[in-house]
Amino acid sequence: MFDVIIAGGGPTGVMLAGELRLRGVGVLVLERDLEPTRIVRSLGLHARSIEVMDQRGLLERFLELGTRYPVGGFFAGIAKPAPERLDTAHAYTLGIMQPVTDRLLTEHAVEVGVEIRRGQEVVGLDQDDEGVDVELADGTRLRARYLVGCDGGRSTVRKLLGVGFPGEPSRVDTLLGEVELTEAPDKVAAVMTEIRKTQLRFGIGPIGDGVYRLVVPADGVADDRSVPPTLEEVKRQLVATAGTDFGVHSPRWLSRFGDSTRLAERFRVGRVLLAGDAAHTHPPVGGQGLNLGVQDAFNLGWKLAAEVDGWAPDGLLDSYHDERHPVAAAVLDNTRAQMHLMSLDPGARAVRRLVSDLMDFDGVSRYLTEMIHAIGIRYDFGDGHELVGKRLKDVVLKHGRLFELMRGGRGLLLDQTGALSVQGWADRVDHVVDVSEELDVPAVLLRPDGHVAWVGEDQRDLVEHLPRWFGAAS
């Protein structure tokens, strides 16, 4: 029996697998496709995902292969400068294509001992009080204590569970792909600049080696979005949108996506959980999809590991749904709003002009930027200090950096008083006595995902809060 089987070897699945193995959990990843996809649906990492990579010691790998960009201009494509003094040590977007992100996360998962089997499709499941039986397309049957569906928007695991996936169907489709052109680069750039003044769902630009990435509105909504568009369809839509097909030829790949928004009613049913696109789908505006899935995995990993290890307090695993479901719902709402603001409808364009004016106010710009980059999230832990429920940024300490201390995936008491103790929980929580000019509270208790669970200086109060997240004292 495996501890955990993960259906889906995309970024959410392998991120979760790495988080589980970090804590010694036995993990098997089952991926339907024989080879990694070449389709580039995500173009980068936002600030919170960059923080996640830093907390696990992976960031340097990503920085070597990515490009840093300012954080501004990600809400409905409205070009505004980034707010000053964002609450993060990583106030940038990292441009890095999804196949590269997938590869780096997969390499990390394998390094820490995750087993990945490709060409393995889940077609059935049955759970009881002790575990989950998983049936594969080739007739193989496997068993695990838990199963997590990270198998995309058309998730088989979600469908087998019978979990509702309410939302709105697509109203518009968009074509995308990587192609070669015969048109001169300066003409391509000039046409794109002109068309982008009004049609924000159009874009075409070089990505190296004579290859261009293109995005163009489709003609209607496809009955089956899994069927890729033809090159002739792409040419017709380029002519309809830009007045030229740029001499497009030799596609590396072509795909399409819609603007449907759907949210699973539950992220957990017994011993089966959902994460990433299996739990929520939305348009790619703002570049939030991959980031949202990676952050789901970061929230779920330590909680599921605690269940496997036997020290999880009551309700810990349920808190995954309680915390991440509202976050996903908020992302669906902001993508709905952004799609409306990108419409060519006169009313939508009037609203867009108004929002653009409002974004000149620092508070508005900051709010929207923190929303897109997921650094404004505060989980509901009840009443308490304003930091409680929020993740703590990477503060500089007298003897290093906070995130460097969190790479083991354990809880952390950062104690500026030197008078506190985690005796009884030392097998789950590290106690670090150090000081920071950036932290104006006596001490903070951090969950393994970096969110603040407690602030204070009273030992008795700390002991009352430790069991909520770290179980009974040993």
CA distance 175 to 232: 12
CA distance 13 to 148: 8
pLDDT in the model for residue 50 = 98
pTM of the complete model beyond 0.75: yes
> Binning pLDDT at 50, 70 and 90, where does residue 71 land?
confident
Given a contact cutoff of 8 angstroms between Cβ atoms, the answer to whether 91 and 47 are in contact is yes
How many residues appear in the chain?
A: 474
Give residue-wise pLDDT tens across range 332-385: 999 999 999 998 899 999 999 999 999 999 999 999 999 999 999 999 999 889
Q: In what order do the strands lie in the sheet with 261-263?
A: 167-168, 261-263, 280-281
What is the fold of 2-167+262-372? FAD/NAD(P)-binding domain (3.50.50)
Mean pLDDT of the chain: 95
pLDDT in the model for residue 292 = 97
What is the fold of 173-258? Alpha-Beta Plaits (3.30.70)
Identify the architecture of domain 396-470 in CATH: 3-Layer(aba) Sandwich (3.40)
* Equal CATH topology for 2-167+262-372 and 173-258: no
Q: What is the DSSP letter of 26?
A: -
Amino acid at site 43 = L
- Domain limits of the chain? 2-167+262-372, 173-258, 396-470
Contacts of 107 (CB under 8 A, 6+ apart): none
Query: Mean per-residue pLDDT for 212-238?
Result: 91
Give residue-wise pLDDT tens across range 18-61: 999 999 999 999 999 999 888 888 889 999 999 999 999 999 99
What is the residue whose two structure tokens read 């991959």? 290
Q: DSSP string covering 327-392, please?
A: HHHHHHHHHHHHHHHT--SHHHHHHHHHHHHHTTSHHHHHHHHHHHTT-S-B----SS-TTTTBBP
Nearest-10 crossing angle of helices 231-242, 185-195: 60
Query: Mean per-residue pLDDT for 212-221?
Result: 92
CA distance 374 to 45: 11
Listed residue (239, 248, 183) closest to 214, CA to CA: 248
Q: DSSP string covering 176-223, please?
A: EEEEE--S-HHHHHHHHHHHTTT-TT-EEEEEETTEEEEEEE-SS--S
